[in-house]
């Protein structure tokens, strides 16, 4: 069991990458704290984990609110006695997100509040808990667009994921001597509800697919397996990494510096 006796908190756990990661972590022995905005939705995921023989609890939180993030970490420690892993995965991709001229300020602010501030607050309250546990792993969901930009305009999303990537690198350096590892999982385009709603026409989908060397969208389960490695002791010498799991898209288009 790669996460035996570890306690892992996962935000955005009601669907997509978060749900698959909750199930995958539990398969490997983790006690899972599944967090999302809707208690009913995330409780269903916790029930799936328990029905499969794992241990999990559900907690409703808005990751853009400091009080909610503080409470979710406190609840994890109260329920399971410690926190070893936090996967700051909650995020949005707003349908009104476009180029700088067309994107409304409210879309920018909402996207940054959830995608970037939510990661900051998750780290803010999880790091003291990880210290109490003697160290641990922080995984922040960034994106391949943080490295290369997007072919389909989504300026707020891209900027928010760039912020996550930069924040991850700095926190990794600051906390390395505390046995706290901080890494950014950077998925490529995925066949998830989040992206499929944004790419709402065949033309938009094809504009993404044409750039992916593997010729397909990734699956949430594949990202869960990547997060599992970052959460486990197998990645014990990995921190500050831009962990691209993108079907080769950045290798095809980004020139190494």
- In Å, how far are 83, 111, 119 from 59, measured between CA atoms? 15, 22, 17
- Interatomic CA distance for residues 195 and 191, integer angstroms: 7
Report DSSP state, residue 90. Answer: -
Q: How many CB atoms lie within 10 A of CB 158?
A: 18
d(CA 179, CA 133): 10
Q: Are strands 7-11 and 31-36 parallel, antiparallel or unpaired?
A: parallel
d(CA 74, CA 88): 16
Closest to 71 in 3D by CA, of 132, 11, 13: 11
Q: How many CB atoms lie within 10 A of CB 33?
A: 29
Nearest Cα to Cα of residue 94 among 79, 85, 105, 83: 105
Q: Which residues participate in catalysis according to the annotation?
A: 157
Cα–Cα distance measured from residue 124 to residue 145, given in angstroms and rounded to the nearest whole number: 25
- Contacting residues for 22 by C-beta, under 8 A, at least 6 apart: 10, 13, 32, 34, 45, 46, 48, 49, 56
What is the distance between the alpha carbons of residues 86 and 124, in angstroms, rounded to a whole number? 11
């Amino acid at each position: 069991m790669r996460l035996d006796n570890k306690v892992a908190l996962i935000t955005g756990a009601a669907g997509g990458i978060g749900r698959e990661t909750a199930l995958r972590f539990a398969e490997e022995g983790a006690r899972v704290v599944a967090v999302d905005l809707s208690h009913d939705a995330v409780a269903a995921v916790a029930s799936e984990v328990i029905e499969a023989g794992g241990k999990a609890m559900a907690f409703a939180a808005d990751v853009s609110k400091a009080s909610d993030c503080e409470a979710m970490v406190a609840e994890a420690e109260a329920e399971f006695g410690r926190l070893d892993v936090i996967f700051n995965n909650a995020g949005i991709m707003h349908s009104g997100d476009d180029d700088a001229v067309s994107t409304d300020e409210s879309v920018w602010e909402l996207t940054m509040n959830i995608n970037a501030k939510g990661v900051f607050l998750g780290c803010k309250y999880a790091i003291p808990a990880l210290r109490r546990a003697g160290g641990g792993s922080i995984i922040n969901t960034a994106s391949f667009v943080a490295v290369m930009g997007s072919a389909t305009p989504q300026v707020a999303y891209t900027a928010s994921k760039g912020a996550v990537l930069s924040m991850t690198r700095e926190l990794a350096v600051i906390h390395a001597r505390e046995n706290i590892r901080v890494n950014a999982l950077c998925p490529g385009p995925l066949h998830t509800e989040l992206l499929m709603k944004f790419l709402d026409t065949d033309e938009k989908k094809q504009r993404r697919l044409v750039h992916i060397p593997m010729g397909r969208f990734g699956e949430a389960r594949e990202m869960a397996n990547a997060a599992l490695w970052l959460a486990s002791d197998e990645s014990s010498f990995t921190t500050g990494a831009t962990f691209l799991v993108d079907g080769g898209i950045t290798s095809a288009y980004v020139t190494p510096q």
